[in-house]
Amino acid sequence: MSDSSASSSSAARALDQNVFDEWPANVRAWFDGASLADKTGFTASLLSVDANGHVRTSLLSVGELYAPDSRTLGIALWPQARATRAITQSGRAALSFVCDAAFYQVQLRVTPLPCAAGDASGLVYLLASIDTGEAQSVRYARLTGGITFELEGEGSAVLARWERQLEQLKRAVAASRR
């Protein structure tokens, strides 16, 4: 019995937990809208709760996330996604992902953005502010990835679409700040 409690005690001390209300520099660099080809495979999970209490998830790439500053995040979602409806109704979401060997979960307050002029993408744009964020890692194991993917077939077309999406998202975010 003492062995397991000693082990639990050691494991508890091995947890590094950092709370933040601004994007850490390494995370913000992932969401800066630049060098998308170098960031393919990264996936973040956007979680929300719908009116029936069901958790809804949208898996997002760097082509759908943009951090214009240290406290906010622009998000581009497909209108038919169940998470889109849940988020626009509740104004709340959580974003989780793995970055630089740590697990991140960020609680967000979310408001819809109007589409930028000339945007024909059909996407829904949201502006989220960090309510609170937390990064966790342990000393005895290194996270090497979360949910990841590889672009297949028309990867260059996907990258081009992401670049267009992010330009529209950046315009929508900029317009909201005028």
Q: How far apart are CA 112 and CA 108, in angstroms?
A: 13
In this structure, are residues 72 and 28 in contact, taking their beta carbons and an 8 Å threshold?
no
Other CB atoms closer than 10 Å to residue 15's CB: what's the count? 11
Helix residue ranges, H only, the chain:
2-14, 25-30, 82-90, 155-176
At 5, is the pLDDT very low, low, confident or very high (cuts 50, 70, 90)? Answer: very low
Q: How far apart are CA 132 and CA 109, in angstroms?
A: 10
Least confident window among 5-9, 14-18, 129-133:
5-9
Q: How many residues does the chain have?
A: 178
Say which residue the tokens 């960020």 belong to: 106
Q: What pTM value is reported for the model?
A: 0.83
- Among residues 72, 84, 80, 66, which one has the least CA distance to residue 168? 66
The predicted structure's pLDDT at residue 4: 40
The predicted structure's pLDDT at residue 152: 86
Residue 8: pLDDT over 60: no
DSSP letter, residue 141: B
**Domains within the chain, CATH numbers bracketed:** 15-176 (2.30.110.10)
At 75, is the pLDDT very low, low, confident or very high (cuts 50, 70, 90)? Answer: very high
* Buried b or exposed e, range 49-58, using 16+ CB within 10 angstroms: beeeeeebbb
Amino acid, single-letter form, for residue 14: A
